[in-house]
């Protein structure tokens, strides 16, 4: 009964066009009424407690870093480094996109921000080189979703808070899986460009390579600072977010000097608006999360999944399929906030490593950002690249399939995630 109330109240509120944050509160109120314990004070208290979390302070700083990165010249220099490194291969601009996506992912943690930056810079270049616009835009969108996997990751922060899992461990465990997603995109792009008869551009000279690396040095140092700082316990993920934001501001205003002081107000307001949306979602989700625990919905779902409980691989496959389906209709943040309190008791009961589950869960949610009909990143790339949704959906399919294959390989071979995670964690 409670599962039905939870599902239909949430979906019903969303179907009426209610914002997801308010739909989550309505869902919580419906559950409270079902178990006869409605109290407005409990709702208010849970909303306040939902946002009152030290690790969540990382979100506004990562958001700010993403805005600064795009407007302060860091993204442009990363693309230039990737261009001189792999631009001379056949279909080289595609490999540039993938390499730049991996590097930018270690700067911002925001899929939409990375995809917007790369779409503006690379889609016109790829079209001018003779590549189909649909494939170019699809590759940029697929590359953008590496951002929530490679640290710093806003998705890992939200999941870590919701699930009570170490965010530092999640950050370090996401490095290799993020690179594997990039490798999957390389294979998919190789398959796509072999059908095109294009002449690759000439290899960059040594002087051009040195110039690009020197020019991009300060931007390239940021992921090194983050990984080294987390690996050796110099700072926590929240402190890392502050370091990223301050460092990005310093580089953009004092070294590259592409971000003027007059533009700072606009940057701060833009990042604050985005942060407020995410934080209100997190706060509202605690209402339904608390009611999920009180009404024992998780225990009921554990009972339903008992046939899979004896085989962790089958259980993970079943969970990943469910998350893929949900991801086609919901954005990443609400999916994390809705499913985490439901799935974590199942994961713990099955003895699955919470960090391993968290990495796969976030990858799955990231893939949801490029699955129609919602596909937030698809919409961003459509707007920036001026391409229709129909065309970009056709172009993104090879890359979407490649990333799903990588995800399910991680389900079948958990060591792809757990072994490097243990090494990075020391």
Residue 291 belongs to some domain of the structure: no
* pLDDT value at residue 170: 93
Tell me what the mean pLDDT of segment 247-268 comes to. Answer: 90
Tell me what the mean pLDDT of segment 224-228 comes to. Answer: 83
DSSP state of 254: I
Residue 237 belongs to some domain of the structure: yes
* pLDDT value at residue 287: 76
Cα dihedral value 243, 248, 249, 251, nearest 10: 120
The reported pTM is: 0.82
Residue 35 belongs to some domain of the structure: no
pLDDT above 90 covers what percent of the chain?
23
**Collapsed DSSP state (helix, strand, coil) of residue 19:** coil
- pLDDT winner (highest mean) among 193-197, 287-291, 307-311, 337-341: 337-341
* Secondary structure of 306-374 as H, E, C letters: HHHCCCHHHHHHHHHHHHHHHHCCCCHHHHHHHHHHHHHHHHHHHCCCHHHHHHHHHHHHHHHHHCCCC
- pLDDT winner (highest mean) among 226-240, 316-330, 404-418: 404-418
CA of residue 267 relative to chain centroid, distance: 21
Residue 26 belongs to some domain of the structure: no
Tell me what the mean pLDDT of segment 37-42 comes to. Answer: 76
- C-beta of residue 150 within 8 angstroms of C-beta of residue 174: yes
Residue 4 belongs to some domain of the structure: no
Q: Which is more confidently placed, 76 or 157?
A: 157
* Distance set, CA 118 to CA 124, 139, 242, 412, 420 (Å): 10, 10, 24, 32, 29
User: Band of the pLDDT at 272, cuts 50, 70, 90?
Assistant: confident
Q: Which backbone phi and psi does 309 adopt, to 5 degrees? A: -65, -20
CB atoms inside a 10 Å sphere around CB 29: 18
Lowest model confidence (mean pLDDT) among 47-56, 254-263, 403-412: 47-56
* pLDDT value at residue 298: 61
Residue 179 pLDDT > 80: yes
Dig out the tokens for 277 from the structure: 């949306």
CA of residue 346 relative to chain centroid, distance: 23
User: Band of the pLDDT at 82, cuts 50, 70, 90?
Assistant: confident
* Distance set, CA 324 to CA 127, 270, 317, 318, 366 (Å): 31, 30, 10, 10, 10
**Buried b vs exposed e over 173-199: b needs ≥16 C-beta within 10 Å?**
bbbbbbbbbbebbbebbeebbeeeeee
* pLDDT value at residue 383: 82
C-alpha radius of gyration, the chain, whole number: 21
Residue 297 pLDDT > 70: no
Residue 91 pLDDT > 70: yes
Residues 356, 394: Cα–Cα separation, whole Å: 32
Residue 412 belongs to some domain of the structure: yes
Residue 66 pLDDT > 80: no
**Collapsed DSSP state (helix, strand, coil) of residue 410:** helix
Residues 212, 235: Cα–Cα separation, whole Å: 30
**Could you tell me which of 389, 371, 392, 379 has the C-alpha nearest to residue 133?**
392
Q: Is 368 exposed, middle or buried (0-12, 13-18, 19+ CB in 10 A)?
A: buried
- C-beta of residue 293 within 8 angstroms of C-beta of residue 286: no
Residue 5 pLDDT > 80: no
Residues 33, 284: Cα–Cα separation, whole Å: 17
Tell me what the mean pLDDT of segment 118-134 comes to. Answer: 85
Residue 146 belongs to some domain of the structure: yes
CB atoms inside a 10 Å sphere around CB 121: 20
* Distance set, CA 157 to CA 9, 119, 160, 196 (Å): 27, 26, 5, 41
Tell me what the mean pLDDT of segment 126-147 comes to. Answer: 90
Inter-axis angle of helices 111-128 and 74-86, nearest 10: 50
* pLDDT value at residue 396: 92
Q: How many domains does the chain have?
A: 1
Domain that holds residue 416: 54-281+297-425
Residue 396 belongs to some domain of the structure: yes
DSSP state of 97: H
Side-chain half-sphere CA neighbours of 28 within 13 A: 28
Dig out the tokens for 18 from the structure: 């209610």
Across the chain, what does the average pLDDT equal?
Answer: 84
């Amino acid at each position: 009964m409670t599962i039905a109330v939870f599902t239909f109240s949430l979906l019903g509120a969303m179907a009426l066009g209610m914002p997801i944050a308010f739909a989550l509160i309505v869902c919580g109120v419906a559950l409270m009424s079902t178990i006869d314990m409605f109290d407005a004070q409990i709702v208010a208290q849970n909303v306040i407690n939902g946002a009152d979390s030290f690790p969540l302070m990382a979100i506004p700083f990562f958001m700010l870093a993403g805005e600064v990165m795009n407007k302060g010249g860091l993204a442009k220099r990363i693309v230039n480094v990737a261009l001189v490194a792999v631009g001379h291969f056949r279909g080289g601009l595609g490999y540039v996109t993938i390499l730049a996506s991996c590097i930018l992912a270690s700067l911002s943690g925001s899929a939409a921000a990375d995809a917007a930056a790369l779409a503006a810079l690379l889609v016109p270049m790829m079209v001018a080189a003779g590549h189909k616009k649909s494939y170019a835009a699809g590759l940029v969108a697929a590359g953008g979703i590496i951002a929530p996997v490679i640290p710093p990751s806003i998705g890992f922060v939200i999941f870590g808070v919701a699930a009570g899992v170490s965010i530092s461990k999640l950050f370090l465990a996401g490095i290799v899986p993020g690179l594997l997603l990039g490798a999957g995109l390389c294979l998919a792009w190789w398959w796509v460009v072999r059908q095109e008869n294009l002449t690759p551009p000439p290899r960059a000279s040594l002087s051009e390579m040195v110039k690009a690396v020197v020019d991009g040095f300060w931007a390239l140092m940021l992921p090194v600072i983050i990984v080294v700082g987390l690996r050796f316990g110099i700072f926590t993920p929240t402190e890392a977010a502050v370091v990223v934001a301050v460092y990005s501001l310093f580089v953009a205003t004092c070294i590259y000097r592409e971000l003027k002081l007059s533009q700072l107000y606009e940057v701060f307001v833009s990042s604050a608006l985005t942060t407020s949306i995410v934080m209100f979602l997190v706060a509202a989700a605690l209402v339904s999360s608390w009611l999920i625990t009180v009404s024992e919905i998780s225990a009921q779902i554990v009972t339903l999944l008992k046939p899979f409980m004896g085989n962790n691989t089958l259980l993970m496959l079943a969970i990943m399929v469910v998350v893929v389906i949900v991801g086609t209709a919901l954005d990443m943040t609400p999916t994390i906030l809705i499913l985490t309190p439901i799935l974590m008791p199942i994961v713990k009961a099955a003895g699955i490593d919470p960090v391993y589950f968290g990495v796969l869960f976030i990858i799955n949610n990231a893939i949801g950002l490029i699955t129609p009909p919602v596909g937030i990143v698809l919409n961003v790339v459509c707007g920036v690249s001026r391409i229709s949704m129909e065309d970009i959906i056709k172009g993104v399919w090879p890359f979407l399939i490649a990333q799903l294959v990588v995800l399910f390989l991680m389900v079948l071979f958990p060591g792809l995630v757990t072994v490097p995670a243990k090494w990075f964690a020391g």
